[in-house]
Structure 1
Amino acid sequence: MTDNSKGCAALLWAAVGGITAVLAWAPRARVSIHGGFEAMHRDLSVLYVDLPLIAVGGALVPLAVWLLTLRALRRPWLATVLTATALTLGIWGLLAWWTPYEQPEFMG
């Protein structure tokens, strides 16, 4: 693998990670953006706080794993497997940890 193709692969992993993280995050953030019944629970801070953090984290995790494993092991196929595993675990961790706050509906 040439240096140019390694760099392109790193950028590809960063793009895939960022897009995948945002797509995994979006269904849960829908409640905060849409607002529920009569938009009473709208919280748009998920767009300007959470969205950039999710996108950057999703891009940096596979990028860091790819670069570190490729440099340490010098085996592109093993770096690919470890990067895909790290991305999968990162998305799983995101979905297990991040849940937007939902206020209870007013019953009265």
Structure 2
Amino acid sequence: MREHRTGCAGMLLAAAGAITAVLAWAPKARVSVDGGFAGMHRDLSVLYVDLPLIAVGGALVPLTAWLLTLRALRRPWLAAVIAAGALALGVWGLLSWWTPYQQPEFMGQPRR
């Protein structure tokens, strides 16, 4: 019965990690989806390339921390705290590192 509870807790941490990562990523990706000013910067590849990678990474980071800590220390509450800390560090790293590509603004005719 104990393995069942720890397995469910790990899956809940993975789901919470995926949801948290996607919600933290979405405001930065908004420019690529709606296109910004006059739709000039629309790039929908963020939906089929970046979104799955962000969701999988958000699920795997806390789940990996949970499993490694649980196996080493055998304390579920400590494993949950370390997994939450790993998720927070992962989201911080995502927000500080990842920026969607934006094409430069076109201002008039180029000089000859």
- Judge same fold: TM > 0.5, yes or no: yes
Q: Deviations over 1:9-45 (max 9, x none)?
A: 0000000000000000000000000111111110000
- Write the distance in 2 (CA, Å) between the matches of 1:101 and 1:51: 14
SS in structure 2 opposite 1:42?
A: coil
SS in structure 1 opposite 2:100?
A: coil
1:61 maps to a residue whose letter is: V
2:17 maps to a residue whose letter is: G
RMSD, matched Cα: 1.0
Aligned to 1:67: 67
Aligned to 1:93: 93
- Write the distance in 2 (CA, Å) between the matches of 1:22 and 1:67: 22
SS in structure 1 opposite 2:77?
A: helix
Deviation at 1:104, TM superposition (A): 2.1
- Write the distance in 2 (CA, Å) between the matches of 1:37 and 1:85: 37
> TM-score when scaled to structure 2?
0.93
Structure 1, 33-42 or 9-18: larger mean CA deviation: 33-42
- Write the distance in 1 (CA, Å) between the matches of 2:68 and 2:9: 13
Matches within 5 A, 1:1-108: 2-108=2-108
| Rg larger for | 2
> TM-score when scaled to structure 1?
0.96
